[in-house]
Structure 1
Amino acid sequence: MSGETRNVPSRLGGSRLRLPDEPAREDWFAGGLSEAIGGPLGDHAVRPPHRRYVTPVRIVLALACLLFALHWVQKSPCRDGAWGDLKQYKDHCYTDVLALYYAEGLGDGKVPYADHAVEYPVLTGLFMGALGLPVHALAQHVDINQGKWFYDANAIMLSLLGIGTVAMVLALRRRRPFDALLLAIAPAMLVTATVNWDLLAIAPTVGALLAWSRRRPWLAGLLFGLGVAAKFYPLLILGPLLVLALRSGKLRQAGTTVLTAAATWVVINAPIAMLYPDSWLQFFRLNSTRGVDWGTLWYVGAHFPTGGENAGLPGFGYLSTHITTLNLLYGVLFALCCLAIGALAMFAPRRPRLAQLAFLVVACFLITGKVWSQQYVLWLIPLAVLARPRWGAFLAWQLAEVGYFLAFYAELMAASGTTVVPEWVFVFFSLCRLATLVVLVGYVVRDILVPARDAVRADGSDDPDGGEFDHAPDVSWLPGAARPTTPAPAPS
């Protein structure tokens, strides 16, 4: 798997040499960082042989392994479950994985859904049971710390899924392997990877994008179905898939993916829904009745330091106690965002890439939503890397996420009776997270409207993740957009 190549004049005459992609040469921010070690490599520098042991792919995968090892170290103070004196917040090591081992009854040997109404979609509940019940059974014969064993088992499995996700992004970016470096060293991944089971949905979702890029719509649908059965957010990506299929006339292929995804989800959910309907509905009940969560747009509005007796902007306090109105309002806002993204997809001067639209939809879902848990950033990181592999705005957003991560634990301590920082500090970091993500959304929209600014298309590519969409002409009936894409490059 080689890096992206750049054409440069050959010393031998008219032929051209193929050199690997180098972020320090094509990205101004990465180039600035490289000055600390001498700056970008020059055109006439002696490069190592093409076949060498230290390749971009191996570097990225090694750093991904290091990131998940460091994440385990960061969470290790909480592994014993002895969370007295708010240790889980002071050490910033809280994880739902350990807390829910006991809260969901796994520590007592309860079978998910059959004995206890799990608050997560079916595949996540089954995953919890598949790891938790053997730990409980072992504890009946061996003196072990059940919580620690359960967390470690989950950390191993989720880390493997995370490393697999990095490998799949590398496969999607065979010509630009250093793009995956952004995922492999993402600061927010370092601190939130095993806060919950989100990587269980992220890995099949990225796998679905990889399968689609390889023109295997049924496999993409199978993996999308698995992702939705673990967390519902992959469902959002099917919308951009259908809109791009409409513009390119590839509805049959996209329909195969959507129908296969639906069938997969039904096969996984139907047995639980029929045998334990009340337990199966718990996830839907919880999300429909859930109020304003920490760090959301609605929370910021309700707690914005206005200087008056009652903090918050007018009207936001009302939404905190009227869930039906809140559900309607954020649903309408998200629907309007989707309509705008759909119009952008249909009428942009050049058909957007699938990853660009997927990122926009998921980002808007979080920006407008009433729940934005700290680990939801994991949904966006692979999509952001695929949508806009530029270092500056990406790292600014990631640093804002880390700032929010730290402020959030201070807020949790305050909610537990120990005030560490004033409320406005948490609101400030919530706004930083929101603002940097909005800026990143703006950059992706700009790249769509001005394709020459798109780093992925800089070498003449159309949509390397697009599968059936890649180099496909627009449908003839679409006014103003019925134009062929850049022809596919000749094999080198």
Structure 2
Amino acid sequence: MTRTTEAPGPRAAVVNGLIPYVPLGLLASLGAILAYYWKSACRFGGAWNSGIDQYTNFCYTDIYPLWFARGLNEGKIPYIQGEVEYPVGIGGIMELVRRLSFGDAVRFYDITVIIMGVSLVIGVLCMAALAGPTRKWDALWYALAPAVILSAYINWDLAAGALALGGLLAWARERHYLAGALLALAVATKFYPLMFLGALFLLTVRTAKWMPFLKMLGAAVGVWLLANGPVMLASFDGWKRFYTFSSERGVDWGGLWFFFQKYQWGVLADGEHLNLMAMIAVGVLLLGITILTLAAPTRPRLMQICFLALAAFMVTNKVWSPQYVLWLMPFAVLARPKWPSLAVWQVTEVWYFFAIWLYFVGMDPNHSAQGIGDGPYFLAVWARALAVIALMVLVVLDILMPDRDVVRVAGIDDQAGGVFDRAPDRFVLFRRAAKTEAS
């Protein structure tokens, strides 16, 4: 008698597909908990309310002081009654948590942390799915890297990360309307995921997969308008505060422009033309990424272009806060999952994390002996910037020499690319010229 095995039903298939991700979810939860307890001196010891102690204990967060500074403690609604310098996604989270906090600042912080912790877990799981079954453990970098644990709850960045990674996972699964919706919500929460729309556009030009891209873009525009429209109508001045603040903002902590102005590096120290210089700098880098994407002998992977575009945006930005490591971590790993270079970069991120708070201590005349001055601080600034630039160079080399790319093994092309995966080239720069020269 022959025994037959029935194929699992749809529900069983889904469950079997999710089981391998359970350990990653648990480890991401551990990372979220460790990040919470890292701030124990502030959350449980009261360092938030005693000036310099929040820096010497390295537990500073924007979340707690903005409860007071933006009038949330007085019941003010973001944008309409209180000024908020963030996109509407963060303002919406602030308003939701304000309503759940019943006037308590610590409860406001705790509930926000729960939302950010869940966002970290979701982001890790999405990253693992983008990496694919053979490389899903690469997502541990996002779950447990020291720089992630140190920086997780400085601001609301993890929410944008979960939305962006979810949107890119939807693209990889060819759910193009969902991809557009999630990416739009990501951009409405933090501005940086706009770089990923550019990466999708460049690979669309190369492959001519226009219909999926246009579906994604249409959904993105519609959802962005739905998210922003009510606030724009209720208080346009409050809504545009983020954009006004971003354009008027001068040099700030962590950015290379801050170094140039501090040490008066000629034209680079010209604060009057800072916005123009920053735009030119990022424009030049993005132009280089465009040429690379359209001219590389083998089509780059989507995660490689996402990483390069985001890193270009960060290196040339007017401010480079310590929590921005949360932006870059998933994409650096997905672009180039080689631990030595990632570990070196992480050392510089941790170095900068401690340096910025000690720099603040050093600026206090009553505690300057406990802190650091310009020299040690800017050494950390440059170490981090050069580490990111080095990662960019390594990714470019992987694109130009795809045999170096550890992701492209066993016949894998671009498993996170969705319709780009194994798609033939339709437009490649310089190919015709190369053929003419060869003939």
Q: TM > 0.5 between the two?
A: yes
Aligned counterpart, 1:171: 129
Aligned counterpart, 1:405: 353
For residue 456 of structure 1, give the secondary structure of its aligned residue in structure 2: coil
Query: Alpha-carbon deviation of 1:476?
Result: 6.0
Query: Alpha-carbon deviation of 1:408?
Result: 0.1
1:329 aligns with 2:329: no
1:199 aligns with 2:158: yes
Question: Counterparts in 2 of 1:6-405, with a 5 A limit?
Answer: 57-79=21-43, 82-136=48-102, 139=103, 146-172=104-130, 173-303=132-262, 311-319=263-271, 322=272, 325-405=273-353
> Share of identical aligned residues, percent?
39
**1:302-335 per-position Cα deviation (integer Å, ceiling 9, x unaligned):** 33xxxxxxx443334433xx2xx00001101101
For the structure 1 residues 449 and 371, does the alpha-carbon distance in structure 2 shift closer, same or farther, using more than 3 Å as the test?
A: same
Q: Does 288-297 or 412-421 show the bigger shift?
A: 412-421
- Structure 2: how far apart are the matches of 1:186 and 1:481? 45
Query: Alpha-carbon deviation of 1:56?
Result: 6.5
For residue 261 of structure 2, give the secondary structure of its aligned residue in structure 1: helix
Aligned 8 A contact 1:182 1:391 in 2: no
- Structure 2: how far apart are the matches of 1:68 and 1:255? 36
Stretches of structure 2 that go unaligned for 5 or more consecutive residues are 1-15, 434-439
Aligned 8 A contact 1:250 1:469 in 2: yes
1:427 aligns with 2:378: yes
- Structure 1: how far apart are the matches of 2:115 and 2:23? 22
1:449 aligns with 2:403: no
For the structure 1 residues 175 and 382, does the alpha-carbon distance in structure 2 shift closer, same or farther, using more than 3 Å as the test?
A: same
**1:243-281 per-position Cα deviation (integer Å, ceiling 9, x unaligned):** 100100101211111121111111110111011111111
- Structure 1: how far apart are the matches of 2:242 and 2:70? 13
- Structure 2: how far apart are the matches of 1:162 and 1:427? 30
- Structure 2: how far apart are the matches of 1:476 and 1:197? 39
Amino acid paired to 1:368: T
- Structure 2: how far apart are the matches of 1:416 and 1:135? 33
Query: Alpha-carbon deviation of 1:59?
Result: 3.9
Aligned 8 A contact 1:346 1:481 in 2: no
- Structure 1: how far apart are the matches of 2:266 and 2:429? 43
**1:434-478 per-position Cα deviation (integer Å, ceiling 9, x unaligned):** 011111111110110000011110221000000000000001676
For residue 404 of structure 1, give the secondary structure of its aligned residue in structure 2: helix
Amino acid paired to 2:117: S
Query: Alpha-carbon deviation of 1:411?
Result: 1.3
For the structure 1 residues 157 and 63, does the alpha-carbon distance in structure 2 shift closer, same or farther, using more than 3 Å as the test?
A: same
- Structure 1: how far apart are the matches of 2:181 and 2:275? 30
TM-score relative to the length of structure 2: 0.90
Aligned counterpart, 1:9: none
For the structure 1 residues 481 and 391, does the alpha-carbon distance in structure 2 shift closer, same or farther, using more than 3 Å as the test?
A: farther
- Structure 2: how far apart are the matches of 1:372 and 1:355? 22
- Structure 2: how far apart are the matches of 1:475 and 1:413? 56
Stretches of structure 1 that go unaligned for 5 or more consecutive residues are 1-51, 140-145, 304-310, 483-492
Query: Alpha-carbon deviation of 1:295?
Result: 1.7
Aligned counterpart, 1:439: 390
Aligned counterpart, 1:468: 419
Query: Alpha-carbon deviation of 1:402?
Result: 0.6
For the structure 1 residues 247 and 64, does the alpha-carbon distance in structure 2 shift closer, same or farther, using more than 3 Å as the test?
A: same
Amino acid paired to 1:291: G
TM-score relative to the length of structure 1: 0.80
- Structure 1: how far apart are the matches of 2:405 and 2:150? 30
Aligned 8 A contact 2:163 2:182 in 1: yes
- Structure 1: how far apart are the matches of 2:112 and 2:279? 33
**1:69-94 per-position Cα deviation (integer Å, ceiling 9, x unaligned):** 11100112212654214111011001
For residue 457 of structure 1, give the secondary structure of its aligned residue in structure 2: coil
- Structure 2: how far apart are the matches of 1:171 and 1:313? 45
Query: Alpha-carbon deviation of 1:58?
Result: 4.1
Amino acid paired to 1:297: L
- Structure 2: how far apart are the matches of 1:312 and 1:395? 33
Query: Alpha-carbon deviation of 1:122?
Result: 0.7
Query: Alpha-carbon deviation of 1:171?
Result: 1.4
Aligned 8 A contact 1:79 1:148 in 2: yes
RMSD across aligned positions (CA): 1.8
Aligned 8 A contact 2:187 2:194 in 1: yes
Aligned 8 A contact 1:208 1:223 in 2: yes
For the structure 1 residues 253 and 56, does the alpha-carbon distance in structure 2 shift closer, same or farther, using more than 3 Å as the test?
A: closer
- Structure 2: how far apart are the matches of 1:205 and 1:275? 27
Amino acid paired to 2:419: E
For residue 230 of structure 1, give the secondary structure of its aligned residue in structure 2: coil
Aligned 8 A contact 2:120 2:143 in 1: no
Aligned 8 A contact 1:193 1:378 in 2: yes
For residue 359 of structure 1, give the secondary structure of its aligned residue in structure 2: helix
Aligned 8 A contact 2:295 2:428 in 1: no
